[in-house]
Structure 1
Amino acid sequence: MTFNTRLFIVAILFAALAGCASFDGPPAAVDAEQESVELSAELVEPEAVAPIERAFEPDTFYALLVAEMAGSRERFDIALGNYVQQAHKTRDPGVIARATRIARFLENRSAALEMSVLWVEVEPTNNEARVLAASELSEAGRLSEAFTHADYLAAQGNPMLLQTVAAYASKGTDIEREQLIEGLEALKPQYPEAVELWMALALAYQQQGLMDEATGAVKKAVKLDPEHFQAQALQARIRFQQGDQVGAIRQMAALVDTNPDDNRIRLQYARMLAGTDMVKAADQFEVLVQDNPHDADLLLSLALIRFEQKNFEQAQPLFEQLTDIESRRSTAYYYLARIAQQQGDFNDALNNYLKVELGPDFMPALVQTLEILVAAGELKPANARMQAVRKTVPQQVERLFALEAEVYGKYDHLDAAEQILSQGLAEVPDSTRLLFSRAMINERRNMLDLAELDFRKVIRYEPNNAMALNALGYTLADRTERYDEAYELIVQAHSLKPDDAAIIDSLGWVSYRMGNYTEALLRLQEAFSLFPDPEIAAHLGEVLWVTGDRAAALKVWREGVELNPSSELIPKVMKRLGAPE
């Protein structure tokens, strides 16, 4: 590198580092939001980073210049990588500060944590470094380390960071929260009049489940400063959690009236209302959206409320607006599909479901796609869709084969279900999940020999699989006369899961088939009390009818029909036994 080139690089880099022109990073002050109280506090003014004047090696200058140029071209991965590398190499406060801010701007939590901790190590008296380190450590659940920095700033007259650290307490373990509470309690003699300390204690107690202590701490904060709206908002949240919903909502409504422009308070109020009064919640979210028309979270909240209200006319344009926001696009398409499906427009529903990408809404969308296609008898396109998805997410292949077969079976396409399960077992031969599913399908196909083979294979692989033991035992009891084998299998399942209503029902049914009516009644009554279900009601009613208690049988059958009026189980039993409908 020539001397003139070095001077050129130095000049450009000096300007870039001193001005920080390439990134509009986040403010240095922490914005500590905690869902239950929406805390946000400007903790310190960003400290000016002096222009870098030390004599860096040419390689360092070049790496940092490349980082700045990469940032200007939106190659942030290169920019951050170079800055992190040079921060470790040079340990220069200006480079470390720049690396920290870039990492936070990019929401790269691991790099932001690494750089902010390094910054404090290099400049332990830099308050901004302390604030950012505390924020990142709290976000990572490292509450004890974060508390150290909050304690340092509190000693300098700024206790707000204590509240910020406590707002993240849910991210720590129980032990971490206990240690944080101990540290905060130890500060009470030093800062008895600090509202921030009592707020921090209330937050930490709340997230540790110590609600009485939380109530006492927040009451102290409100007493110290009756006009402190954050303390009042936290007090309302704690009241809401303790069951005083009316009082909490009334308190939040008063806060909104006195602070109409504070969207954090209105948002907490809207969230409380969402659990008790959807109409009023929608009104509050309408105001929030008007003030923040491009806030994706607020738009989604309002859209979901309108959807739950079945107000599709207002929900649909909100979801359509969200399709332009990448982070919410898939969710928006999913709900647009559900709206179309509920309105009977299945083509539009399918088109929107197919636009849902991998993420939380992908599997629900896939299930609904299958439901629509299979219900219409369109098995080929359904299978084509599933094949495409299995190629996209091969790690989920077992689950996807099981899902496809389950939907086929739901609509009585039993041969297709058996075929898809056999195809799945060709790819995942030892899958007990697929073997069990195929056994159940073959039982419905009256292929009892094949069903038993698969059930026994599952039991061979998993001797303590209570579900498989019970399924085989019930099948033998209900569909054959091999009662002794059935009883032995079901007893084994019962020993593994003695409180399982389905297994107790099987035990009662096999006892009935063996002629032990007293035992059958006891077991079936126990099963029905544990889990009222039409199938158990059908069994219990039959035993009552056969043993002569026909009034009780009719009563149980009526209860069973009420549980699921569309079920044919009970009417078939009643017809077989000649019972009056």
Structure 2
Amino acid sequence: MTLRLRASSLRHLGIIPAAALVLASSTAAWASAPTNKKPDHASSYYHYALAHLYEDMAVNAGRQDYAEQAVEQYKLALDADPDSEMLQDGLADLYFKIGRVRDAVSVAQGQIAKDPNDVAAHTLLGKIYLRSLSDTQSTQSQQMLQLAIGEYEKLAQLQPNDVETHLLLGQLYSVDHDSAKAEAQFKAAQSIDADSEDVVLNLARLYSDQGDTERAVQVLNGVPVDDRSARIEMALGASYDQLKKSKDAIAAYRRALDQDPDNLDTERSLANSLLDDGQLNEALKLFKTIVASEPQDAQSQIHISEIQRQQGHYDDALATLEKAKPLVHDSLELSYNEALIYDALGRYDESIAVLTKLVDDSAHEDGKYTDQEKSNRALFLERMGIVYREENKTAEAVAAYQKEVELGGDYARSGYQGVVDSYRDAHQWKEATTAAAAAAKALPKDHSVQLMYAGQLADTGQVNEGLALAKAQLSDKSSASDQRDVHFALAQMYTRLKRFQEASAELDAAAPLATASQDKLYLAFLRGALADREKNLDEAEAQFKIALGIDPQNATVLNYYGYMLADRGVQLVEAQQMIQKAVNLDPQNGAYLDSLGWVCFKSGQYDLAEQYLKKAIARLGNDPTVRDHLGEVYEKTGRLKLAVDEWKQSMADYAQSLPADADPEDVSKVQHKLENARVKLARVSTSNTAVK
């Protein structure tokens, strides 16, 4: 009975050293006993018990000498009973625990050679290979992965009803990018234990990794609400976040917090979803609570600054970033947010200085970047291009976008688009067309670039050439997504050309190809814009509501829908709410600021209207519509001369605009307002002269 006591039990009695000495004193006698032909079970059991005692002492005390004693006792036990599977497995496991991995593998493999169905030996080898996955180079890691898979495949055969084995094997298949086999193992585990939380979580993770987030949500929602753990609710919230269903994500995170109220990770996830949903005050309150609990949480400080920036509290946003700076070292996100704040404040030089440092620090002389480095660098260069465009520094903006082109792939496409847009902003139509042609030549197989060039041709009067180039992107070999994009592009081209029936036909052709949620959103948006151009307000509203039902936080849709209502002078409260949300999502967007100024004007909020319209002009200096709107504000508030100046500038900008952007009706209205204002000014001047 004494020999069955584990070291952990003996330690509480304070007699481990004494027991070890008593047992060790007899070791020599047992070791020197003559070897019997038959197994000596008594001797084997004695040394096995002593090995266990030393093993526990080695583990608890961290003593290498105890570990070596344990090994020796196992060997003596095996001398007494060489064919004992339990002893062989025990020795292999001990080697693994004390870090003698090669010896562990050798013993385990030797045991498997004797008994291919030894579960313990296969389990140990599986553990060893699993641990080695993260400790080896990529080539060796792949070898270890295959060895681990082999062991767990054998274990799944030997113990087909073990849930953990199927889960581990499924996870290994996932790492090996074999989704079908991974799913089969998870389903096998599910058939054994349908209520297993780990099975549900692994299946959901697998589907998410495959890009089928909807199916992941379906699996997680398959667990009744009352039976869901905080982990399942967290996974569900994360899946909803990926689907941009922030309200559903918020609900899931709140349920998780109900079960685990003090979980800061859940609070962070909830705060982020509130931020994504535009619930800025709620998000800010929660982030501040998180920082109060964990003052070193720099990421939450950065999010607080982001909210303050979106709320227009720019000085507070900068102050918050200053608090976060000592907590992080060279945070790209912090610096990028700082650049955004300077941009929002109109402190363009300071914004450019921060962005320049980010671009310089992210540069590699050899031009080689990881995917994440490319993504970051492209983000910095794109923002730099935007700020330069706001400053009307076209050459500098083009230079920034050309650096993005050098990153290749999708970034090259985006960079070329930025170059063309920079020239378009400056009304340099010839240069824009030349740049688009160069992009089309550089990327002849890129349908989106060819479509960009086609649109530029059509906009600059080469309508037939542009339409022909766009249609040439359609072929039997084109993928469904490419065909869809061509139909979308043609619909926009026809809309700008006021060939509305043809535009509608292209959207009808795109509809069956728009299967993803974002494609359906874009289809609804284009249908709404077309209906607006056709003066069909009810249809436009219906389509914009479809789009917002897919993504309530889509700033482009919110802005267009709100502006359409404001321009017609209807539903002004709803219109202002939508546009304000768009501005919150993108505070530096000049078009959104113009919309907000216009809805304020329509609502009689003239001071706010002037404020926002001036900000819009700072970013869209040569936009005739913004100038027209500011002229309206000046005329309404009795500053007729200023109104005349704005309308004169509006007419000058219209004269340099593309035909598609200079609707004759709009131009005529501005001309009429300008002439009337001049007459009024003349009357005032005559009246003043007469009085004198």
* TM bucket normalised to smaller: 0.5 to 0.7
Offset at 1:96? Answer: 9.3
**What amino acid maps onto 1:440 in structure 2?**
I
Aligned pair 1:379/2:326, yes or no? no
Alignment-derived partner of residue 400 in structure 1: 334
Q: Give the C-alpha shift of residue 488 in structure 1.
A: 4.1
Q: Decide whether aligned partners of structure 1 residues 15 and 382 sit closer, same or farther in structure 2, where only a CA change above 3 A counts.
A: farther
Alignment CA distance shift 1:420-1:195 (3 Å): same
Cross-structure match for 2:68? 93
- For 1:530-541, list aligned pairs within 5 A: 539-541=492-494
The partner residue of 2:118 within 158, 161, 166 is 158
Whether 1:419 aligns to 2:350 is yes
How many residues align? The count is: 425
- Match for residue 354 of structure 1? 291
Deviates more, 1:162-171 or 1:504-513: 162-171
Paired with 2:483 and 2:19, the residues of 1 have a C-alpha distance of 70
Cα distance, 1:492–1:181 mapped onto 2, change above 3 Å? same
- Measure how far apart 1:405 and its partner are: 3.7
Contact 2:280–2:307 under 8 Å retained in 1:
no
- SS state at 2:557 partner: coil
- Give, as a single letter, the amino acid of the residue that structure 2 aligns with 1:235: A
Match for residue 501 of structure 2 among 525, 535, 551:
551
Does structure 1 retain, via aligned residues, the 8 Å contact 2:89–2:111? yes
In structure 2, the partner of 1:489 is 435
Provide the C-alpha distance between the structure 1 equivalents of 2:558 and 2:219, rounded to a whole number of angstroms: 32
Q: Aligned equivalents of 1:306 and 1:202: distance in 2?
A: 24
Contact 1:203/1:214 (<8 A) preserved: no
Counterpart amino acid of residue 480 in structure 1: H
Residues 93-131 of structure 1: per-residue CA shift (max 9 Å, x gap): 25999xxxxxxxxxxxxxxxxxxxxxxxxxx96634523
1:462-502 Cα distance to aligned partner (Å, 9 max, x none): 7566233431233224533352x434433444455556565
1:511 Cα deviation after fit: 1.8
Task: Decide whether the 8 Å contact of 1:386 with 1:400 is kept in 2.
Answer: yes
Deviation track 1:422-454 (CA, whole Å, cap 9, x = no partner) reads: 2443676566654542221232x2x33x24224
Look up the equivalent residue of 1:394 and give its one-letter code: H
Q: Could you say what secondary structure the match of 1:507 adopts? A: helix
Match of 2:219 in 1: 276
Assess if the C-alpha contact under 8 Å between 2:217 and 2:236 holds in 1: no
C-alpha displacement of 1:382 = 0.9
Matched with 1:35 is: none
Question: Per-residue deviation at 1:380?
Answer: 0.9
Q: Judging changes above 3 Å, is the alpha-carbon distance between structure 1 residues 488 and 532 closer, same or farther for their aligned structure 2 residues?
A: same
Match of 1:176 in 2: 144
Q: 3-state DSSP class of the match of 2:270?
A: helix
Partner of 2:92: 130
Deviation track 1:360-405 (CA, whole Å, cap 9, x = no partner) reads x975x456424421232111111122233344323324x4332344
What residue is the counterpart of 1:503 in the other structure?
449
Kindly provide the amino acid, as one letter, of the partner of residue 459 in structure 1: Q
- What is the alpha-carbon distance in structure 2 between the residues aligned to residue 427 and residue 317 of structure 1? 40
CA distance in 2, matches of 1:279, 1:184: 28
Maintained 8 Å contact 2:55/2:67? no
1:515–1:309 distance in 2 versus 1, CA, 3 Å: closer
Q: How do residues 155-304 of structure 1 correspond to structure 2 at under 5 angstroms? A: 155=114, 158-163=118-123, 166=126, 171=133, 173-179=141-147, 206-207=173-174, 208=176, 235-237=188-190, 252=193, 255-256=194-195, 275-276=218-219, 278=221, 280-285=223-228, 297=231
- Match 1:518 to one of 452, 457, 464: 464
1:299/1:368 CA distance change after superposition, 3 Å: same
Q: In structure 1, what is the equivalent of residue 54 of structure 2?
A: 50
Determine the C-alpha separation between the residues in 2 that align with 1:366 and 1:537.
45
What TM-score does the superposition give when structure 2 sets the normalisation length? 0.46
Q: 1:461 Cα shift?
A: 9.2
8 Å contact kept, 2:234–2:256: yes
What runs of 5+ residues in structure 1 fail to find an aligned partner? 1-10, 21-43, 54-63, 69-78, 98-123, 219-232, 238-247, 257-261, 290-296
- Please tell me whether Structure 1 or Structure 2 has the larger radius of gyration of its CA atoms: 2
SS of structure 1 residue aligned to 2:493? helix
- 1:32 is matched with which residue? none
1:459 corresponding residue in structure 2: 402
Match of 1:345, SS?
helix
Q: Which protein is richer in helix relative to its size? A: 2
Amino acid at match of 1:473: V
SS at match of 1:480: coil
Q: CA deviation at 1:146?
A: 7.8
Aligned AA for 2:227?
A: Q
Do the aligned partners of 1:331 and 1:356 also contact (CA within 8 Å) in 2? no
TM-score under structure 1 normalisation?
Answer: 0.53
Asked whether the equivalents of residues 524 and 540 of structure 1 are also in contact (C-alpha less than 8 Å), the reply is no
Would you say the 8 A contact 2:451–2:486 is kept in 1?
no
User: Which residue does 1:470 correspond to in 2?
Assistant: 417
Amino acid in structure 2 at the alignment position of 1:352: T
- 1:514 deviates by 4.2
1:438 maps to: 384
Which residue of the partner structure matches residue 540 of structure 2?
Answer: none
SS in 2 for 1:552: helix
RMSD of aligned alpha carbons: 6.0
Kept in 2: contact 1:333–1:355 (CA 8 A): no
* C-alpha separation in 1, matches of 2:358 and 2:179: 52
Structure 2: distance between partners of 1:539 and 1:212? 41
Correspondence for 2:650:
none
| CA 1:559–1:400: 2 relative to 1, 3 Å | same
Contact 2:111 2:118 in 1 (8 A): yes
Are the counterparts in 2 of residues 169 and 204 from structure 1 also a CA contact under 8 Å? no
Q: Which whole-Å deviations, capped at 9, do the CAs of 1:509-543 have from their partners, x for residues lacking one? A: 33224433233224556599567599957852345
Structure 1 residue 551, shift from structure 2 partner: 1.3
| CA deviation map 1:532-578 (0-9, x unaligned) | 59995785234543xxx331235658426455532439978988436
Aligned to 2:428, the other structure's residue is in SS state: coil
Whether the aligned pair in 2 keeps the contact of 1:408 and 1:416 (CA below 8 Å) is yes
Helix, strand or coil at the partner of 1:354 = helix
Q: 1:565 aligns with which of 543, 551, 557?
A: 557
How far the C-alpha of 1:209 sits from its partner, in A, is: 5.8
Amino acid at match of 2:386: M
